[in-house]
Structure 1
Amino acid sequence: MILICYNKYWYKNSLLYPHLMSVMTSIDKSSKENGCLEILEGSHKCGRIDHGFVGGQTGADVDRVELIRQVCPHKYVELDPGDAVFFHCNLLHTSQANTSPHRRWVYICCYNLKSNNSIHEHHWASYRKIDVVPDSAIMECTNETDMSGKQFADPRENKTVIVTSY
Structure 2
Amino acid sequence: MLLTYKEIEQYRRDGFVLVEDVFSAAEIGTMVADIEGGGRTAASAMSVDDESGKKAKLAYWEELTDDIWSDASTSPRVVNNVRMLLGEEVSFFHGKVMMKEARTGGAWEWHQDYGYWYDQGFLFPHMISVFAAIDPATKLNGCLRVLKGSHKLGRLTHLQVGGQTATDPARIAAAEKLFETVYCEMKPGAALFFDCNLLHCSASNDSDYHRRSFIMCYSAWGNPQLAKDGKPVLREPCPVAGMGRKTSL
Give TM-score, length-normalised by structure 1. 0.74
Letter of the 1:106 counterpart: S
Whole-Å Cα distance in 1 between the matches of residues 130 and 245 of structure 2? 25
Please show how residues 75-154 of structure 1 align to structure 2 within 5 Å: 75-120=182-227, 126-129=234-237, 133=244, 135=246
Corresponding residue to 2:142 among 35, 59, 65 = 35
1 or 2, which has the higher strand percentage? 2
* Larger-Rg structure: 1
1:51 to 158, 162, 174: 158
Higher relative contact order (CA 8 A, sep 6+): 1
Structure 2: runs of 5+ lacking an equivalent:
1-107
Q: Aligned to 2:114, what secondary structure does the other structure show? A: helix
Structure 2 residue aligned with 1:26: 133
- Cα displacement (A) at 1:119: 1.4
| Aligned residue pairs, count | 135
Distance in 2 between residues matched to 1:130 and 1:69, nearest whole Å: 35
User: Residues 2 and 29 from structure 1, CA distance in 2 versus in 1: closer, same or farther, beyond 3 angstroms?
Assistant: same
Question: Between the two proteins, what is the percent identity of the paired residues?
Answer: 37
For residue 178 of structure 2, what is the aligned residue in structure 1? 71
Matching residue of 1:160: none
Report SS of the residue matched to 2:128. strand
Separation (CA, whole Å) in 1 of partners of 2:219 and 2:166: 21
Q: Which residue of 2 aligns with 1:6?
A: 113
Q: TM-score, normalised by structure 2?
A: 0.50
**In structure 2, what is the equivalent of residue 144 of structure 1?**
none
Change (3 A) 1:129 1:84: closer
